Amino acid sequence: MGLDALVPLAVTVAIFLLLVDLMHRRQRWAARYPPSPLPLPGLGNLLHVDFKNTPYCFDQLRRRFGDVFSLQLAWTPVVVLNAVPLLLRIPALAGKVLRSQKAFLTQLDELLTEHRMTWDPAQPPRDLTDAFLAEMEKAKRNPESSFNEENLRMVVADLFSAGMVTTSTTLAWGLLLMILHPDVQRESSWGRVQQEIDDVIGQVRRPEMRDQAHMPYTTAVIHEVQRFGDIVPLNMPHMTSRDIEVQGFLIPKVGDDALHQPVIVLKDEAVWEKPFRFHPEHFLDAQGHFVKPEAFLPFSAGRRACLGEPLARMELFLFFTCLLQRFSFSVPAGQPRPTTPDPHLPPPGCPFRPNGLLDKAASNVIASLTCGCRFEYDDPRFLRLLNLAQEGLKEESGFLREVRSQGPQGLCRASS
């Protein structure tokens, strides 16, 4: 076949693919579909998205198209949501779940098998796995029950991977911000964190969750760490299960992915007095009492909000207060002072990396709650489990990788 014959064939194939592409997009040309940048045939809006810095890129698109806009990533339609009232009122969406690597699940299977051998259904549950096994026994004759072996594996896997990464990254932000703001750590207009810890808890006993109600400033600081650090700037995608209307726009039941950006809500200048500064007073009223604004949504919102939120809140309070009870954090003499990033610039990278010990601490808490076991930090099996959980950061979906990249070690730099 000569070159002259290939040209008409190539043109025909190109026209065919263009028509297929146009037919695929046609159903989203309705006037009520959220606006978007002009998509290219085949590529859609892939060239409009900076995947190395998606929060900043999406913020620029929001400023251009509004709080609700759409993207066409190749042939995958995506609707991006940003406003606070919108996120609180959006109908329930069927979520997608990340899968951990096979080796990690195999390691968890060994732990669960050992745990099952010591389980006594006649005794009260010792931990989450015991409670789950008890429900599995009750649902043996119900094939539609969600209490089954596969879901047990995935619940424990999700707690280990997502729970470890988000908790340790938030704590890393907390330690960095205490270093950068010694006035918050030791002295402030409302009472320093360490002074409040000394007054309420003292130095003899360990912190307990009941102490939180009497520690408004410490609680405000922890919430401000979550707001300012904003470790999940782009939430996991959800898929529409029916036609829904959001701020006058129609999102059809055609498999559209819906994304929302906590970074926009947590840095909204219309809501927060100093959105780009670490300011614990965002969560205190004029009398110094703790208050939580409606725009505080670090765990997402609605029926598909993070199910681990209660556990995460407990972990953050207990870890943070234990650390500040025993230690003061500062820059060693002669060392450069780390800085928080400019929210409008790409991440520059930083030497502040406390995540190793924080990962181990968070994972040990999760192990005790799920499987009733506590590991020594140098236990080979624990280290292998930890390493496999961290491999989840490299999964194609990139969700946990995105979380880790929002930690101080990924977003901060040292300066003299």
User: Tens digits of per-residue pLDDT, 338-370?
Assistant: 665 544 444 444 445 565 777 788 888 888 878
Residue 79 pairs in a beta bridge with 70, 258
* Residue 2 vs residues 5, 7, 333: alpha-carbon distances, Å: 5, 9, 75
3-state secondary structure of 210: helix
* Residue 131 vs residues 36, 136, 155, 372, 394: alpha-carbon distances, Å: 47, 9, 12, 12, 31
Q: Are 250 and 279 in the same domain?
A: no
Q: Are 12 and 55 in the same domain?
A: yes
Q: Are 2 and 105 in the same domain?
A: no
Bigger pLDDT: 397 vs 106:
106
At residue 413 the predicted structure's pLDDT band, cuts being 50, 70 and 90, is: very low
Which residues have a Cβ under 8 Å from the Cβ of 6 and sit 6 or more positions away?
Answer: none
Q: Are 132 and 37 in the same domain?
A: no
> Mean pLDDT across the stretch 25-50?
68
Q: Which pLDDT value is given to residue 369?
A: 79
Q: Which pLDDT value is given to residue 398?
A: 42
Q: Are 145 and 73 in the same domain?
A: no
Residue 416 lies in a domain: no
Question: Quick one: the chain helix, strand, coil %, rounded to 5?
Answer: 50, 10, 40
| Per-residue model confidence as pLDDT tens digits over 238-272 | 555 566 666 666 666 655 444 455 556 777 777 88
Residue 407 lies in a domain: no
Q: Are 278 and 367 in the same domain?
A: yes
At residue 167 the predicted structure's pLDDT band, cuts being 50, 70 and 90, is: confident
Q: Are 134 and 249 in the same domain?
A: no
Q: Which pLDDT value is given to residue 1?
A: 52
Per DSSP, the residues of 134-185 read: HHHHHTTT-TT-S-SHHHHHHHHHHHHHHHHHHHHHHHHHHHHHHHH-HHHH
Q: Are 104 and 79 in the same domain?
A: no
Q: Are 298 and 391 in the same domain?
A: yes
Write out the residue range of the structural domain in which residue 18 sits: 1-85+241-266
First to last CA, the chain: 68
Q: Are 250 and 300 in the same domain?
A: no
Q: How many domains does the chain have?
A: 2
Q: Which pLDDT value is given to residue 200?
A: 94
Residue 411 lies in a domain: no
Q: Are 258 and 161 in the same domain?
A: no
Q: Which pLDDT value is given to residue 199?
A: 92
CA angle 10, 24, 27 (to 5 degrees): 145
- For the chain, counts of helices (H) and of strands (E): 15, 9
Task: Count Cα neighbours of 77 within 13 Å in the Cβ-side half-sphere.
Answer: 22
pLDDT for 140 beyond 50: yes
Q: Are 234 and 247 in the same domain?
A: no
| Per-residue model confidence as pLDDT tens digits over 273-325 | 888 889 999 999 989 899 988 778 766 555 555 666 777 788 889 989 998 99
User: What is the domain-level CATH number for residue 153?
Assistant: 1.10.630.10
Residue 121 lies in a domain: yes
Residue 410 lies in a domain: no
pLDDT for 233 beyond 70: no
pLDDT for 146 beyond 80: yes
